[in-house]
Amino acid sequence: MTALAKSKGKSFRHESTVLGGAPVFSVMREAFPLAELESFKGIFNATTNVILSLMENGEKYEDAVKYAQSIGLAETDPTNDVDGWDAAIKVAALVTVLWDTPMTPQQVNPTGIRGITPEMIAKAKAEGKRYKLVCSAEKVGDKVEASVAPQLVDSASPLYGMMNSSTGITFRTDVILDYSIVLSEKPGMKGGPLETAYGLFADFVNVVK
C-alpha cells in the first residue's frame, strides 16, 4: 500500500493501527530519520493487560475475561486477544513498516495468556515481578526476529508500571538505547476510542501539511 500510494504521489498513513493515538510510526519516521532501529518491546493489547491486572488482584482468569467483555474491551469471542493474535498483527505491522521487512502474524507465532495460572501470578508477585503479554522484535543480521508471549518483568522494566488498559513501547536504536512511549488511558479499565480518533486526525493533519 505504501509503494502504491507513493507511485501515485499520495501518502499512506496508519498511525492508529498500533497503540491508538501514540505516534509510534511518526517517531521513527520524523524524530529519528537517520537512526537505525535495533529492537522494540512493548505491550500492545489492552484486553490482556486488563485481565492480567485483575488476576494480580485476585480475580480468576474466567472472571477477568467476563469483566473485560462486560466493559466492551474484549469481544464476545476473546480468542484474538487472549491467544495473542491481535498483538501479533500489530507486531507484524511495525516490523513491516519500520524495517521495511514484510511480516505476517503467522510468522510471529504468538503465545497467549491462557496458560498463566493464579499460582504463577502469586509467585511472581512475591518476587516483585508481574506477567505481561510482551510484544518484541529485534534486527539480527539481515533478519528480524519477532515474538508475542507472556514474560515476567520486574520494576526496572518500563512495562512493569503499565497496568489495566495502559499500553506502550520502548525503542532501542543505534543512537539512543531506550526511548519509551507510554500511552496511559484515563483512570479505569476501558481502552480509548478518543486516542484512536486522535491518531486518525493526526494522520489527516500530516497529509494536509
Whether 90 is a known active-site residue: answer: yes
Which residues lie closer than 8 Å to 177 by C-beta, 6 or more apart?
Answer: none
Q: Are 109 and 15 in contact (CB under 8 A)?
A: no
Of 10, 60, 66, 90, the catalytic one is 90
Span 204-209, average pLDDT: 71
Best CATH choice for the domain 17-183 from the list 3.90.45.10, 2.120.10.80, 3.30.360.10, 1.10.940.10: 3.30.360.10
Closest CA to 192 of 38, 25, 156, 200: 200
Spatial separation of the C-alpha atoms in residues 136 and 131, rounded to whole Å: 15
What digits encode the pLDDT tens for the residues 84-99?
999 999 999 999 999 9
In which band, very low, low, confident or very high, does the pLDDT at 68 lie, cut at 50, 70 and 90? very high
Which residues lie closer than 8 Å to 113 by C-beta, 6 or more apart?
Answer: 48, 51, 52, 82, 84, 131, 133, 150
Spatial separation of the C-alpha atoms in residues 208 and 138, rounded to whole Å: 33
Instruction: List the beta bridge partners of residue 169.
Output: 42, 181
Spatial separation of the C-alpha atoms in residues 125 and 53, rounded to whole Å: 11
Q: Please report, rounded to a whole number, the percentage of residues in the chain having pLDDT higher than 70.
A: 83
What digits encode the pLDDT tens for the residues 46-56?
999 999 999 99
The residue extents of the domains of the chain are 17-183
Spatial separation of the C-alpha atoms in residues 73 and 165, rounded to whole Å: 9
Rounded to two decimals, the pTM is 0.86
Instruction: Spell out a b/e string for 89-112, using b for 16 or more CB atoms within 10 Å of the CB, else e.
Output: bbbbbbbebbbeeebebeebebbb
What one-letter code names the amino acid at 115?
Answer: G
Q: What pLDDT sits at residue 13?
A: 67
